[in-house]
Chains A and B, each alone.
Chain A
Amino acid sequence: MGADVWIGLLIAGLSRAMIYFLLASGLTLIFGVLNVINFAHGAFYMLGIFICYSFIKLTGSFALAFLLIPLICGLVLGGLTETILFRRVYKAEHAMQLLLSIGVTYIIADVVKIIWGVSPYSTDMPEVFYGVFNLGGIIITKYNIFIMVVSLLTALVMFAVLYKTKIGSIIRACTCSREMTCTAGVNVSRVFSLVFMVGVGLAFMASVTAAPITTGMLGMDTEMIMIVFSIVIIGGAGSIAGALLGAVIIGVIESLAVPILPEFAEVIMYIVVAIVLMFRPQGLFGKVEA
């Protein structure tokens, strides 16, 4: 196989990695700040793909979908889930938190089945993204560029907010110590709601970004959540940089494994997780447990 095929696979892998990054960053943010593992993240992603399909069918505008869906769904669904459900288990045992998010996954999965039925749906590629760029023999589709730009911009915005703004330092303070931040007079529960909504919003942004090339089917939530969790584990829980690195590793390996071992790409991914954890049990960028 020629080098251009490998490069093509690499680019495809990087594209997928960017979608994974958007999901993983939301998940790791929620985990880092709220110390809650949200199994429902994959379900939100799946819901987003279906909502995007229906939205575009209704309005015909991908741009509108891209701007509105992450914002509104993040706000509404994220806010609702956090207030009604997750807020009550912050002080509970880890098993309860995990189980609650699994319950939410089931609810969303069945709601999707009720509203959209069992057949898969596909959103068409928006015309704006037709066509490719040719960089010295390497073919990159306009859509790939779009994905990478969106993800990298998101990453930059997140770093900027977390490290250069007041709200960002408050969020980082919550990651280190909830109690201290509370005594400093910060309304911690509002910060938590905000972070949760942003995290869920990121999941929906991933949905909209991925919609043109992803077929919405039942069961994609459980598939996706395992990949995203593996990324968060590899990168280190709570670390956005880790999510980026982990996503790239997983995305590229997944893509390059296709010609070699098509059936077992997932297994390779889990083996990578195992290897990373054997040498660095806290993930690549994670903090060591005291």
Chain B
Amino acid sequence: MILWEREKEMYIKSNELSKTRQLTWYFIIFIVLMIIPFIASIFWTNLLTEILIMGLAAMSVNLLLGYGGSLPFGHAAFFASGAYATAILIKETNLPFAVVLILAPIAAAVVGAIFALIITRLYAFYYAIVSACAGMVLWTLCRKMPLLGGDTGITGVDLPVLMSNVKAIYILTAIIVFIMMVFIRVLLNSPFGWIQQAIRENPTRVTCTGSNVLRHRYIAFVISSFICGISGMLFVVHTQSTFPSYAHWVKSGDFVMICILGGMNTFIGPMVGAAALITMQTYITSFTENWLLVLGITICLIVIFVPSGIMGLVKDLPEKIRSLSRKSNSERRFDRMKG
């Protein structure tokens, strides 16, 4: 029994240590993020803004994809909802900017709550296709409803004077994305987050232990759509315009791809994936028009050769190196035997 008490104590201590370590990391990352616009060029600041926004959208998708075991292929709908809500509220009403920032993601969450009524009852491919269909409904609405600007979208969204420069937009984005990422991390470490992962592993057993799986999937979906709406809103702040293509399933597919590229089984994977993809896209589109071809080939290569993504590779690297050296040792022994 004494041994057991000691083990419990060690377990508690290890967790507490990591809490202080975690907070230190949060602090460092925040400081670094805030310094960047003052040392980097406008080009890179802009790029980083876009990476943070797309990374946040991908993280919202990964809540359901990597951690929830679902296939959300329609999240562009919530990205677009947040975007259009922002654009319309700014152009058509006189609400203060801060209020718009609060209302827009709520609009996305409302859309998410409606779609989730059907989607969260489904599993696997049905979930994927229906969420894609739901996204396309929004796409059609964005194109056809005159209120929403039609095919040409909405442009010329004015920002308050304070926000009318790249640095300010970046800082706003960085602050909001940072807060949301801390929120997501807290969420994933909470009972809510663990039940989410348990549902991914074995939904029947979760039901049999007393948790309401349907309700949980629903709430997780709404939270995810809220966060995705935030990224849509930030994107409008970044580009001062919004277009129907933001709701197309191709965009939803982009989010999923970013998750898988970066590593959907890790927390930071989606953000890394966003960085990789956007950097690659900026570089490649600068000298060729055939970005889709490159993208398609990249997707195929990743899915076949690196399905665990960049962060997955990074995490597995130490083990892979160990096993490689192990193999060569036994190979050497075998060769010696053959003599």
Q: State whether these chains interact.
A: yes
Say yes or no: A99 contacts B303, CB within 8 Å.
yes
Indicate with 1 or 0, residue by residue over A63-101, a CB within 8 angstroms of chain B CB atoms: 000000000000000000000010011001111101110
Contacts A111-B293, A264-B144, A267-B141 given; indicate if A99 touches B128 (C-beta within 8 A). Answer: no
B295 touches A (CB below 8 Å):
yes
Set of chain A residues within 8 Å of B121, measured between Cβ atoms: 281
Q: Judging by beta carbons under 8 Å apart, are A103 and B136 in contact?
A: no
Q: Is the CB of B250 within 8 A of A222?
A: yes
Name the one of A93, A114, A289 contacting B290, with C-beta atoms under 8 angstroms. A114
B residues 249-302 touching A (CB-CB < 8 Å): 249-250, 253, 256-257, 260, 264, 290-293, 295-300
Q: Chain B: which residue is nearest A107 at the CB level?
A: B296
CB proximity of B298 to chain A, nearest CB, Å: 8
Which residue of chain B has its CB nearest to the CB of A92? B307
Distance of A88 Cα from B301 Cα, bound (Å) = 11
A274, B307: Cβ atoms under 8 Å?
Answer: no
- Whether, in the assembled complex, B137 has its beta carbon less than 8 Å from a beta carbon of chain A, the answer is yes
State whether B300 touches A104 (Cβ < 8 A): yes
Determine the chain B residues whose CB is within 8 A of the CB of A96 once the complex forms.
260, 303, 307
Q: Tell me the complex Cα distance, A100–B304, Å.
A: 8
Determine the chain A residues whose CB is within 8 A of the CB of B257 once the complex forms.
Answer: 99, 102
Whether A107 contacts B297 by the Cβ 8 Å rule is yes
**Please, what's the 1-or-0 string for A102-121, where 1 marks a CB less than 8 Å from any CB in chain B?**
11111111110110000000
Q: Are A107 and B300 in contact (CB under 8 A)?
A: yes
- Residues of chain A contacted by B140 (CB below 8 angstroms): 263-264, 266-267
Give chain B residues whose Cβ lies under 8 Å from the Cβ of A104: 296, 300
Q: Contact at A94–B124, with CB atoms within 8 Å?
A: yes
Contact flag A94-B65 (CB < 8 Å), given A99-B260, A111-B293, A226-B249: no
> How many angstroms from the CA of A129 to the CA of B123 in the assembled complex?
45
7 example contacts (A-B, Cβ-Cβ < 8 A) are as follows A96-B303, A99-B253, A102-B296, A113-B290, A114-B290, A226-B133, A229-B133
B118 contacts A by Cβ under 8 Å: yes
Bound CA span A50–B94, Å? 50
CA distance in complex: A281, B15 (Å): 44
If A103-B300, A104-B300 touch, whether A277 touches B256 (CB-CB below 8 Å) is no
Contact of A37 among B125, B134, B144 (CB under 8 A): B125
Known: A277-B126, A281-B126. A98 touches B249 (CB 8 A): no
Query: Is the Cβ of B73 less than 8 Å from the Cβ of A110?
Result: no
Distance in Å from the Cβ of B301 to the closest Cβ of chain A?
Answer: 9
Interface-centre pick from B260, B291, B293 (highest chain A CB count, 10 A): B293
Question: Could you say which residues of chain A place their CB within 8 Å of the CB of B291?
Answer: 110
Excluding A94-B71, A273-B130, 5 further A-B contacts by CB distance (< 8 Å) are: A95-B256, A110-B293, A277-B130, A278-B118, A289-B123
Take A106-B295, A111-B293, A264-B140 as given contacts and tell me if A89 and B125 are in contact as well, using a CB distance cutoff of 8 Å.
Answer: no
The answer on a CB contact under 8 Å between B136 and A270 is yes
Of residues B256, B292, B298, B303, which shows the largest number of chain A Cβ atoms within 10 Å of its Cβ? B303
Residues of B near A151 (CB, < 8 A) are none
Q: Which residues of A contact B125 (CB under 8 A)?
A: 31, 37, 94, 98, 237
Tally of contact residues, B, Cβ under 8 A: 42
> Any chain A CB within 8 A of the CB of B172?
no
Name the residue on B nearest A271 (C-beta).
Answer: B137
> Contact: A106 with B126, CB < 8 Å?
no
Which residues of A173-216 have CB atoms within 8 Å of chain B's CB atoms? none
Task: Say how far B282's CB is from chain A's closest CB, in angstroms.
Answer: 18
B-side contacts of A34, CB under 8 Å = none
Find B128's partner among A37, A266, A278 (CB 8 Å cutoff). A37
Given the complex, which residues of B lie within 8 Å of A270, measured CB to CB?
A: 133-134, 136-137
Q: State how many angstroms separate the Cβ of A8 from the closest Cβ of chain B.
A: 25
Least CB separation from B248: chain A residue: A222
Question: Is A33 part of the binding interface, using a Cβ–Cβ cutoff of 8 Å?
Answer: no
Q: Is A230 close to B, CB under 8 A?
A: yes
Identify which of residues 102-126 in chain B touch chain A, using a CB-to-CB cut-off of 8 Å. 118, 121-126
> Does chain A have a CB within 8 A of B129?
yes
- How many angstroms from the CA of A109 to the CA of B137 in the assembled complex? 23
Residues of B within 8 A of A110 (CB): 290-293, 296
Which B residues from 193 to 227 make CB contacts under 8 A with A?
A: none
Q: Which 8 A-B residue pairings sit nearest by Cβ, starting from the closest?
A: A103-B299, A106-B296, A107-B296, A110-B293, A110-B292, A263-B144, A103-B300, A103-B296
**Which residues of the partner chain B approach A113 to less than 8 Å between Cβ atoms?**
290, 292
Whether A11 is near chain B, meaning CB under 8 Å from some CB there, is no
B63 at the interface (CB under 8 A from A): no
Pick the contact of A273: B71, B133, B293 (CB < 8 A). Answer: B133
Looking at the assembled complex, report how far the CB atom of B129 sits from the nearest CB atom of chain A, in whole angstroms.
Answer: 5
CB distance from A166 to the nearest CB of B (A): 29
Residue of B nearest to A111 (CB): B293
Judge whether B132 is part of the interface by a CB distance below 8 angstroms: yes
- The answer to the question of A17 belonging to the interface, with a C-beta cut-off of 8 Å to chain B, is no
Report B64 CB to chain A, min CB distance, Å: 11
Q: Is the CB of A95 within 8 A of B264?
A: yes
Do B303 and A226 have beta carbons less than 8 Å apart? no
User: Distance (Å) between the CB of A97 and the closest chain B CB?
Assistant: 8
- Any chain B CB within 8 A of the CB of A22? no
Q: Say which residue of A85, A98, A100, A281 sits within 8 Å of B71 (CB atoms).
A: A98
Q: Which chain A residue has the least Cβ–Cβ distance from B145?
A: A263
Bound Cα distance A85, B301 (Å) = 9
Instruction: Report how far A281 CA is from B303 CA in the complex, Å.
Output: 29
